[in-house]
Structure 1
Amino acid sequence: MSSIERDVVLRADSIGMIFNPDSAKPVTAIADIGFDLHRGEVVAIVGPSGCGKTTLFNIIAGLQIPSQGKVHVNGKQVDQATGHVGYMLQKDLLLPWRTVLDNVIIGLQVRNTPRKEAETIARGLIEAYGLRDFEKSYPSELSGGMRQRVAFMRTLAFSPDVILLDEPFSALDSQTRLVLQADMARIIRERNCSVVLVTHDVGEAITMADRIVVITSRPGRVKAIHDVDIAPESRHPMKVRKQPRFTQLYEQIWAELGVNIAA
């Protein structure tokens, strides 16, 4: 096995999903989608609304079984929800009756991690990522950006092999969105996380991803895969937009999406 093969943490192999296959009007949501995610890499998936991005995420997370194809995480086929994958949704889904600390440790508690150990892990994250003074605060006392930080720390706490981010900034105002993009990208690099990001924002995909998978309109298929060959130090959400490569990628991907939207 080559070093490249050993470095693959997630493989989606010819994934297809047909809903109501035995009915008079079956719906093919996605078809023959395939890509690899390497350790420490961020892959962004972009496509028009209704192209099946959420369906693909549910399959990767083991929440749905595909009609065709297979997903493997670290060489093991995913056929049910697994603790090897952390799934962060658009909404933070923090429990309102639990403090920041108690929200961060939820995943660890599900894994029966001793309370003292779970708190140590959570406090390390809270300290490192700027919420030390809010450890005892409740979600209602936090801004939208702070709530998303807590949701991300909750995902990081149990060290999943793969992190799925489903439009994690969509509910935020534009300024908070840019700040959180920069923060989350930094955290991902610091912790060498392996991430699949779904977003409608092409600029966000270029800012955060190492590769971008462009999906067609339904049934979703892989139209193109682009390498984001921009140096990490130039990836700040404001700096990156000044890069000629950003403009080139943005226009190319937008044109690909435009063809599908118009079809």
Structure 2
Amino acid sequence: MARDPPTGCSFTSLKQPKINMESFWFRCSKLKSTLHSGWVAVRKVNFAPRIPVNGSFSSRSLAYMHASTRYIKQVSGLLKIGVTSMCNNGSPSYEAVQETYSCLLRLKSSSEEDAVRMQAGSGETHVFFPDSIGDDLIIEVQDSKGQYYGRVVAQLATITDEPSDKLRWWSIYHEPEHELVGRIQLYINYSTIVDENSHLKCGSVAETVAYDLVLEVAMKVQRFQQRHLLLHGPWKWLVTEFASYYGVSDAYTKLRY
């Protein structure tokens, strides 16, 4: 999940990294101790020029120059040791705590109790069975504390339009403000059962198509054939009542019969 969709498939946080304050203050204390020790060591360096007794001005100047050179060398050595120690111990920074997110996934046609919890970035998979082409996949995103962060509505109709495009980025909105708070990448593999009635597995069924199914069942149960061309009893009543209730015309029923 990310604020903006990256070019690859990397996983980044929706929010800024949190600071581990305990680690931060430990590093600050360590840096302060290192600087204090270095300052104490620098203060202990003696600046003592060896001035000859009754020496001339030039000899005194030369003595001060030699003393300054020794002082600079000693201080430079202490600074080099201090810098090396700080580099080995790590720079004064903080540890970033990566925010983790979980998702509750369910179909619009199912109840909230049927929601499946999945961890973002874990690669977990789950199989859903939508009722119709108008169904939606609803993803509720929660932070590490279980607080609501936003939700995604992946429309099944959009997925079936381009079934080859399995890996997509979907926008996460915080409701009811409908504020865009991030994006989530989903890999959705949509498939249907391929048979003679595959067009009936998903989508609205017309009354005439439903009537055809009822009539076919009645014919099979009563062994409808060349020597037996009449429906009778409860099955005849069922077919007639079905056509009357759903408004299937007499002309259509006679044609199908």
TM-score (norm: length of structure 1): 0.21
TM-score (norm: length of structure 2): 0.21
Tell which structure's C-alpha radius of gyration is larger: 2
Ranked by relative contact order (alpha carbons within 8 Å, sequence separation 6 or more), the top structure is: 1
